[in-house]
Copies of this chain bind each other. A is one copy, B any other.
Amino acid sequence: MSPMTKIVECVPNFSEGRNLERIEKIVQPFRAREGVKLLDYQRDEDHNRCVVTVVGEPEALKTAVLEAMGAAIAVIDMRAHKGQHPRMGAVDVVPFIPVKNMSMKEAIELSRQVAQSAAQKFKLPIFLYEESATAVHRRNLADIRKGQFEGMPEKLKQAEWKPDFGPTEMHPSAGVTAVGARMALVAYNVNLGTSSLDIASDIARKVRHLSGGLRYCKAIGVELKHRGIVQVSINMTDYTKTALYRVFELIRIEAKRWGVPVVGSEIVGLVPMGALIDTATYYLQLENFKTEQVLESRIYE
């Protein structure tokens, strides 16, 4: 791999979590393909949904994502879809995340290309969301998806919900899709040495953006009944601007107010190396440290 190879991640969500044969057809385009690497896919029967994690070079990934979208549209009929997770389309949402040698601007451009091609190819209405959104009210996926598959025919009639690409009527069986670029999410939980959910919820309110906390931090209080403790469960929406260690230390400070210790924390799923380097840099007070000093980053560049 050349040092300048661009790498982008894609985490498409498909509305099928039960039929393994269909899921295999959807995932197939990501397998054994030059320039694309399937990292993971997880299906959930209750949600009736499958989440794929794939990385690759932009052009190769674009081709594979479009093929997987076509496969999903061919095998999923949303008119028969039931599941606990909110959804509006067979291909519910397709986020692109810049990983290496790739700017957010380039990821946005890639998402627009995929959205345009898919809309044309599959006669699918597509909204651009997050960093790719064309209006402020379309940034948040929850706002776009509100009303879900069943409500989309009515929603699309409103001028402010005219799709960015594709027809203004819903695809009869595949519904509507959101495509966009966003920062890598880090799922991060901090465990507290108390059984009081009130304390976890109070701290979550204080550290999250929504209610006055850190800009790129979403948080709720959660009970871990099997351990008899509680947790502040966090989604870091831009770890490059709101660092992991900052929310960790802030939670520690807020927990002191209750005389409650932080007993641990956990990172769920994948985390970019940069988030851990930031953490080491802060606590060791590192001067002038560069990512290129990490041996592994040099081996594989």
Interface residues of A (CB under 8 A from B): 1, 7, 9, 37, 39, 55, 99-100, 184, 191, 244-245, 248, 262-267, 269-273, 276-277, 279-280, 283-289, 293-300
List 8 interface pairs A-B (beta carbons < 8 Å), by A numbering.
A100-B299, A191-B287, A248-B284, A264-B286, A266-B287, A270-B293, A273-B273, A279-B279
- Least CB distance, A276 to chain B, in whole angstroms: 4
Q: Could you say which of B184, B280, B287, B293 contacts A269, with CB atoms under 8 Å apart?
A: B293
Q: Which residue of the partner chain B has the closest CB to A283?
A: B283
- Least CB distance, A114 to chain B, in whole angstroms: 20
Q: Could you say which of B248, B272, B283 contacts A296, with CB atoms under 8 Å apart?
A: B272
Check A273–B245 contact: CB distance below 8 A: no
Chain B residues whose C-beta falls within 8 Å of the C-beta of A279 in the assembled complex: 279-280, 283-284
Check B285–A270 contact: CB distance below 8 A: no
Per the bound structure, the CA–CA distance linking A82 and B51 in Å amounts to 64
Per the bound structure, the CA–CA distance linking A6 and B140 in Å amounts to 44
Pick the most buried of A100, A244, A263, A267: most chain B CB atoms within 10 A of its CB.
A267
- Least CB distance, A14 to chain B, in whole angstroms: 21
Task: List 9 tightest A-B contacts by C-beta distance, closest first.
Answer: A300-B300, A279-B280, A283-B283, A276-B280, A264-B287, A273-B296, A270-B295, A264-B285, A266-B287
